[in-house]
Amino acid sequence: MKRVLMFKWSILLLAVYLVASLYLFFITPAQAMVPMHWNIKNQIDGWITREAHLPLGIGLMVGIWAMIFLMPYYSPWYKNYGERNEKIMPGLANIMVICLGALNLYSQWVAYKGGEPEGVSVILIIIGVLMLGLGNLMPKIPKNYFMGIKTPWTLSHEDIWHRTHRLGGLLFFLSGLLLIVKGFISSTYGLFHLISAIVALVMLLYPLPYSFLLYKKLGKS
Q: Is the pLDDT of residue 183 over 80?
A: yes
Q: Which residue has the higher pLDDT, 1 or 210?
A: 210
Q: Is the pLDDT of residue 20 over 70?
A: yes
pLDDT tens digits along 111-155: 999 888 888 899 999 999 999 999 999 999 888 888 889 899 998
8 A C-beta contact, residue 126 and residue 102? yes
Among 180, 96, 91, 101, which Cα is nearest to 137's?
91
- Cα 106 to chain centroid, rounded: 15
As a whole number of angstroms, the distance between CA 213 and CA 93 comes to 32
pLDDT tens digits along 66-109: 999 998 888 777 777 777 888 899 999 999 999 999 999 999 99
Judge if pTM exceeds 0.85: yes
185-189, 197-201, 213-217: range with lowest mean pLDDT:
185-189
Span 166-187, average pLDDT: 92
User: Rg of the chain over CA atoms, in angstroms?
Assistant: 19
Q: Is the pLDDT of residue 46 over 70?
A: yes
**Domain edges within the chain:** 1-116, 118-221
Q: Is the pLDDT of residue 199 over 60?
A: yes
How confident is the model at residue 220, as a pLDDT? 58
Within the chain, residue ranges assigned H as helices are 2-6, 8-27, 50-69, 71-74, 82-113, 122-137, 158-184, 190-205, 207-220
8 A C-beta contact, residue 116 and residue 44? yes
| Mean model confidence pLDDT for the chain | 90
How confident is the model at residue 221, as a pLDDT? 55
Which percentage of the chain shows pLDDT scores above 70?
Answer: 99
Helix (H, G, I), strand (E, B) or coil at 139: helix
How confident is the model at residue 80, as a pLDDT? 77
Which percentage of the chain shows pLDDT scores above 90?
Answer: 65
CB neighbour list of residue 145: distance below 8 Å, 6 or more residues apart: 75, 76, 77, 155
Q: Which residues pair with 38 in a beta bridge?
A: 44
Span 60-64, average pLDDT: 94
DSSP 11: H
